[in-house]
Chain A
């Protein structure tokens, strides 16, 4: 991948920030611990809607065999790998070259076949049964342009998944003050609260690109059990499932 091309939908500052953290992606106790902890409820949301969308048995081994999935902003592959284990033929892209390097190396060590590319969605020319972009939209400079490029990669009737942080006082308290300043879960400056997206804004943006939002779900942290759990409240961090018209 040519290092001189500047991807249009990710700002250089954002990419540099995540690259600095890339080596620690897969350490359960490292810098990305919160993402690892966030994974189970996220994956459960994805799996349950996907099983319903494609009428598959979620308890079967590799339930999504034969379907294709695009992971936009895959980072170190924290969600791409589970999706590949669940049977999807996964293409995963990220604008950060170091992320892709880490992700590729890790998948190879685990014996997983994932098509990792350092790319942005508009540079791809095929469409997928599923497109997901999790915890990415709050980092792109132009959310509408980004979602339009992402939506174009989805087959008509295909399933869309997104996740982001809501722009509420609670998310400011938790994601910025709590996660970055008090708990030091994330390096300071990881997130810009003003770029967080309200569910109504996310829904409207999806409709503009021909994706009907079907379901929203939040996550909350259960401190005694030291884990994130699914919840109805969308106050802090939430995910959305939608279907492309067709």
Chain B
């Protein structure tokens, strides 16, 4: 008989969302086991995940409050200006962070830097056990608790299981929670670009006919490029040799940052929108991509996941300190109610943005260009959009306000 592990919460998936959740819970006195199918030492390579994530102000405060930010900060570039433009139209939207305060809109961080910070922090915390690479061979959500096994016979008993295992979440599927989903017929091509001039901490979002083309500042003279392309064209672009690919990229990137060179591998991800039809079931909750997946146009995927983490951690820590059963329906309902509307709203907004801008009908182009210019001049409306993108709107969990749990 292998080890019998009794914990409060079993987290399936220790990535960019499951990892911070484990850190938050364990730092607040909740015992946790994390089961992840990836090898944590390989997951921090650039070859594993070459993407960067936008982290808005409020989620950054949460990462700071749980002690992860100091390890991430050296790899993060602040976003101080955002320029949004539409094709070759002269009208554009310019956001300056000084319009609402001294703090930046957010930061761009390479995912591997976040993964490394999570791995190192989890290793320090006494209340967390990590099982990776490993897979659950059984998961039973019984009346009094959750019982799960690994292939080697290790047995977990917990009050609650959290599905943080991504868009295709096997845990969500296993529980029979369906998803509503549609594909965008767009593929994101992602790579890192080195350039000779400073990006001056400005993020650029350029709406091209095929979809948004984003240039996001990284530390030093480097930027992360998210190039949205029509799905049927993407394979041909990705197959090109380095020179041809660079030429294709340069025609979109422009020369405003001087000479450019591509650093590291290229990645591609098909884009879709999906949301789970429920956020909780008996002794189970969904967080991050397992609950919702969106287009990267507004850079909100990681942020919505971290907002889930902040809300769930608060709900569970409050319940723990009242002696409540962490898997009880009344506890899980509070989390689901808190997050579902906020996430659906963001999914709707990003979807509308993608549809509005990935469209070449002349009337629509004129309308949206004047819309951008109008928003640019309307101070209060612009400030509201800015505060929303920074994650400062709505009933905020303590972590998003930078407070301890």
The answer to whether the Cβ of A182 comes within 8 Å of any Cβ in the partner chain is no
Q: A60-B29, A61-B29, A111-B145 are in contact. Are A85 and B323 (CB under 8 A)?
A: yes
Is the beta-carbon distance between A39 and B145 smaller than 8 angstroms?
A: no
**Pick from B143, B322, B329, B334: contact of A43, CB under 8 Å:** B322
Contact with B along A24-50 (1 / 0, CB 8 A): 001111000100110110011001000
Q: Which residues of B, 299-346, contact A by the 8 Å Cβ criterion?
A: 318-325, 328-330, 333-334, 337
The answer to whether the Cβ of A138 comes within 8 Å of any Cβ in the partner chain is no
Per the CB 8 Å criterion, the residue count for chain B at the interface is 22
The answer to whether the Cβ of B133 comes within 8 Å of any Cβ in the partner chain is no
The answer to whether the Cβ of B178 comes within 8 Å of any Cβ in the partner chain is no
Is the beta-carbon distance between B330 and A109 smaller than 8 angstroms?
A: no
Q: Which of B29, B328, B330 has most chain A Cβ within 10 Å? A: B330
**Which residues of chain A are within 8 angstroms of B319 by Cβ–Cβ distance?**
40
The answer to whether the Cβ of B137 comes within 8 Å of any Cβ in the partner chain is no
CA distance A83 to B321 in the complex (A): 10
The answer to whether the Cβ of B235 comes within 8 Å of any Cβ in the partner chain is no
Is the beta-carbon distance between A106 and B321 smaller than 8 angstroms?
A: no
Contact with B along A79-103 (1 / 0, CB 8 A): 0011111100000000000000000
Per the CB 8 Å criterion, the residue count for chain A at the interface is 29
CA distance A224 to B154 in the complex (A): 44
Q: A28-B328, A109-B143 are in contact. Are A226 and B322 (CB under 8 A)?
A: no
The answer to whether the Cβ of A110 comes within 8 Å of any Cβ in the partner chain is yes
CA distance A111 to B327 in the complex (A): 13
Is the beta-carbon distance between A82 and B333 smaller than 8 angstroms?
A: no
Chain B, residue nearest A108 (CB): B144
Chain B, residue nearest A84 (CB): B323
Is the beta-carbon distance between A82 and B329 smaller than 8 angstroms?
A: no
Is the beta-carbon distance between A47 and B321 smaller than 8 angstroms?
A: yes
CA distance A109 to B334 in the complex (A): 24
**Pick from A33, A40, A59, A60: contact of B324, CB under 8 Å:** A40
Q: A29-B329, A37-B330, A106-B144 are in contact. Are A81 and B323 (CB under 8 A)?
A: yes
The answer to whether the Cβ of A198 comes within 8 Å of any Cβ in the partner chain is no
The answer to whether the Cβ of A155 comes within 8 Å of any Cβ in the partner chain is no
The answer to whether the Cβ of B142 comes within 8 Å of any Cβ in the partner chain is yes
CA distance A186 to B333 in the complex (A): 21
Is the beta-carbon distance between B321 and A227 smaller than 8 angstroms?
A: no
Distance in angstroms from A80 CB to nearest chain B CB is 10
10 closest A-B pairs by beta carbon, nearest first, are: A109-B144, A82-B323, A28-B329, A85-B323, A43-B322, A86-B323, A28-B330, A36-B330, A110-B144, A61-B29
Sampled A-B contacts (12; CB under 8 Å): A36-B329, A37-B330, A40-B318, A47-B321, A61-B29, A61-B320, A82-B322, A83-B323, A108-B144, A109-B145, A110-B159, A227-B334
